Amino acid sequence: MPHAIRFHETGGPEVLRWEEVEVGAPSAGQVRLRQTAVGLNYIDTYHRTGLYPVALPSGIGLEAAAVVEAVGEGVTELKPGDRVAYAGGPLGAYAEARLMPADRVVKLPDSIRDETAAAMMLQGMTVEYLIRRTHRCQKGETVLWHAAAGGVGLIACQWLKSLGVAVIGTVGSDEKAALAKAHGCTHTINYRTENFVEKVKELTGGAGVPVVYDGVGKDTWDGSLDCLSPLGLMVSFGNASGAVAPVNLGILSQKGSLFVTRPTLMTYTAKREDLVTSAQALFEVVGSGAVEIEINQRYALKDAQQAHRDLEARKTTGSTILLP
Ligand code: NDP
């Protein structure tokens, strides 16, 4: 029987268990996948801790590359043997084999290796919608990106550079600053040792930035608002340091008629056409070499506990994969 990581109660990494699972044949509209590489994402820790509630017991993980083993009734776009990848759909990507709704899966081009796909689909499609749809980043703009040396961060730095957008990136260490710079980040700020608001003001001649991309959450929220120019857009897309506290809307008027959005990849790829367009855009920037996917950590899938520990301890950089 295949194995998967599952959890029966919320908590620390120790709740993740390596278990045998029954997969079965695909129902109508489903595919059965043999998974070749699984992506680790910060959202996995929110499911595990209960910050984002899920029904228990539960599988975990939202992203993988795989080979189609069998297709259910009505599935016409995929056949056994196809190489595919996904980011989203039902939890349960941390598995050797699984069923998936066929309409959440995309075929992989020959140029994209399985490990690369598992490392980039969720983080890369997130960057796609954040910089092309949540705010259409324009050549010549300067944006602030928190955690610039992380998985989403390194993809964002490179993609934005290719568009002619300057990135001010915050990072938690000098090594991470060097890594972000090597991936196209224009200016870095070590927000553990420097006041990032003062630094952003200095770098922008006092003007601030038109948009802040903040996946850090609790610790950076207040400072992020102070980095925005009038009518600026605060894109709060994650909670690596904890959830943002309830907000008094009046703060947005006081700080210059600001806009705020709290977007998720799931909304931006809910329609099949949006999922395919987003994946295609990612395949293009990776295929052209504009964006390189930095896989800086690999773990055996059964060692997912350790991968979660390292991610939450800020020990990882770039993308991380788990190998079945
Ligand atoms: P990362 O690889 O970026 O890891 C998180 C990073 O956050 C850490 O490496 C660390 O970098 C930084 N960080 C700052 N404070 C803390 C803290 N207290 N504890 C832990 N980490 C901290 O993760 P991902 O690339 O997977 O995701 C980045 C963010 O984007 C996450 O918040 C994630 O939830 C969000 N996200 C949101 C999506 C959406 O659609 N809304 C989709 C995908 C991701 P440093 O040491 O440099 O500070």
Residue closest by Cα to atom 18 of ligand 1: 241
Q: Residue 39: CB within 6 Å of ligand 1?
A: no
pLDDT tens-digit map of 134-193: 999 999 999 999 999 999 999 999 999 999 999 999 999 999 999 999 999 999 999 999
Surface-to-core class of residue 252, CB atoms within 10 Å of its CB (0-12 exposed, 13-18 middle, 19+ buried): middle
Which fold would CATH assign to domain 139-262? Rossmann fold (3.40.50)
Instruction: Check residue 180 and give its pLDDT.
Output: 98
Topology at the third CATH level for domain 3-121+271-323: Quinone Oxidoreductase; Chain A, domain 1 (3.90.180)
**Cα 9 to middle of ligand 1, angstroms:** 23
Nearest CA to ligand 1 atom 36: 238
The amino acid present at 173, given as its one-letter code, is S
Q: What is the pLDDT of residue 282?
A: 98
The CB of 169 under 6 Å from ligand 1? The reply is no
Q: What is the pLDDT of residues 27-68, one digit of tens each?
A: 999 999 999 999 999 999 999 999 999 999 999 999 999 999
pLDDT at 38: 99
Tens of pLDDT, residue by residue over 79-126, are 999 999 999 999 999 999 999 999 999 999 999 999 999 999 999 999
| Residue nearest to ligand 1 atom 8, measured at CA | 314
pLDDT band at residue 256 under the 50/70/90 scheme: very high
Instruction: Give the pLDDT score at 9.
Output: 98
DSSP category for residue 108: P
> Which residues contact residue 282 at a Cβ distance below 8 angstroms, ignoring those fewer than 6 apart?
120, 121, 124, 125, 127, 128, 291
Residue 206: what pLDDT?
98
- The pLDDT score that the predictor gives to residue 292 is 98
pLDDT in tens, 277-302: 999 999 999 999 999 999 999 999 99
CA distance 208 to 232: 9
Q: Is ligand 1 within 6 A of the CB of residue 239?
A: yes
Nearest-angstrom CA–CA distance, 282 and 290: 10
Interval between CA 30 and ligand 1 midpoint (Å)? 31
> What's the CA-to-centroid distance between 288 and ligand 1, angstroms?
26
pTM for the full model?
Answer: 0.99
**What percentage of the chain carries pLDDT values higher than 70?**
100
ipTM of this predicted structure: 0.99
Cα 237 to middle of ligand 1, angstroms: 9
Distance 72 CA to ligand 1 centre (A): 36
Is there an atom of ligand 1 within 6 Å of 45 CB?
no
Q: What's the pLDDT score for residue 131?
A: 99
Output the pLDDT for position 69: 98
Say what the pLDDT of residue 110 is: 97
Sorted by where each begins, the domain ranges of the chain are 3-121+271-323, 139-262
